[in-house]
Structure 1
Amino acid sequence: MPTAFLEIVELPDGRIALRRAEDEETLVTLEFSADAREFLQGQHVEVAKAMLSAGLQMAGRLVEGELPESDGPRVLH
């Protein structure tokens, strides 16, 4: 993916989206359930920012070859 300015926005339906600043196309979307929003006491946007930041850091490390690629099955926790 070419270098671009990215922005995190809250969509009208309440989902949190990551997109290029110059584009309306969404790259990643996060959706919190009503229970999760209640548990987070209105801080769901801050949690989404942290989640997206961690994901972008991991993607950068993959691109730079810092993380080994795996051909085997992946276990998601």
Structure 2
Amino acid sequence: MSSDLYEIIELSTGEIALRRAAEEGEPLVVIKFSEESLYFLKDAKYEVAKAMIEAGMEAAGEAAIASGIEPDGGDITRDQTKTLH
């Protein structure tokens, strides 16, 4: 993912979504809690959704770096020299 600004919103369906702040299109991520979960979470659903999204973005960034791709889409293996001594 690039370094765009993102926003967490609540859709008309009650689902929590992540989208780029400058776009009105399809969200990047949508979280839907079951009725049972909502009963226990109440208003904490927003904080739980935020934590889930933050954890997912962090994991995606780490996975991208581990595979040689920067989170912004660049190739981190490009232009790197190795010293073998």
Would you say same fold, with TM above 0.5? yes
Q: 4+ runs of 1 displaced by more than 6 Å?
A: none
Structure with higher RCO (Cα < 8 A, 6+ apart): 2
Structure 2 distance, partners of 1:63, 1:3, is 14
TM-score by length of 1: 0.77
Query: What's the offset of the Cα at 1:3?
Result: 2.5
- Based on CA coordinates, which of the two structures has the bigger radius of gyration? 2
Partner of 1:36: 37
Deviations 1:9-53 (A, max 9, x none): 011110000110111221010001111111113211110000000
Partners of 1:41 and 1:2 lie apart in 2 by 32
Gaps of 5+ in 2: 68-85
Structure 2-normalised TM-score?
0.70
1:1-77 superposed matches below 5 A: 1-24=1-24, 25-65=26-66
How many residues in Structure 1 have an aligned counterpart in Structure 2? 66
- d(CA) in 2 for partners of 1:36, 1:52: 17
SS in 2 for 1:43: helix
Identity rate, percent: 45
SS at the partner of 1:42?
helix
Q: What is the root-mean-square deviation in Å for CA atoms of aligned residues?
A: 1.4
